[in-house]
Amino acid sequence: MISKAPNGVDRVVGQRLRWRRRELRLTQEQLGERLGLTFQQVQKYEKGINRIAAGRLYEISAELGVDISYFFDGAADLIGLPSQAVQEANSPEPPNLPVIETDAIELIQAYQAIADSGVRKSLLNAIRAAASAALREADTGPDDEC
């Protein structure tokens, strides 16, 4: 018998809902008002505690300005898993999804506002170089000499 309880895919959909809501700088309360829901219901959707019905997901996608497939990005790994892995994915622990901090969302929005592709590419290269240097430092430690 198939369980009606939320599973790993529901948590992926909830995380994507949260990402998009935050990207648009909406509070749970604001999104709830637009959809005729309480902020608690939006919160439960985002945490994957409550499943989102197909019709409701369609309404949410329209309100957030994304295609419904947006919510399933990253879920393919959970859908195609063997049955034991699906059981683990259905555990109360959420899947290991990246958490996007507010600063990262603001960085993306600012980056996308830059019209000059050369400037965008330069910034991307600078960020990659900084990340690479940070990873090297983490691997070797600040006191190690190369």
Structure tokens at 135: 């990873």
| Environment class of 10 (CB within 10 Å of its CB; exposed 0-12, middle 13-18, buried 19+) | buried
Which residue blocks in 24-101 are alpha helix, DSSP H?
Answer: 28-35, 39-47, 54-64, 76-79, 83-89
| Nearest one of 26, 25, 29 to 42, comparing CA atoms | 29
Q: pLDDT digit string (tens) for 70-90?
A: 988 767 766 555 444 444 444
Does the global pTM surpass 0.75? no
How far is 108 from 125, CA to CA, in rounded Å?
14
- List of the chain residues with pLDDT < 50: 82-95
For the chain, domain boundaries: 8-100, 114-140
Separation in Å, CA 71 to CA 18, 36, 48, 91:
10, 20, 12, 20
Q: Which positions ≥6 away from 1 have C-beta within 8 Å?
A: none
CA 18 to chain centre: 6
**The predicted structure's pLDDT at residue 2:** 61
Q: Per CATH, which fold does 8-100 belong to?
A: 434 Repressor (Amino-terminal Domain) (1.10.260)
**The predicted structure's pLDDT at residue 7:** 72
By three-state DSSP, how is residue 2 classified? coil
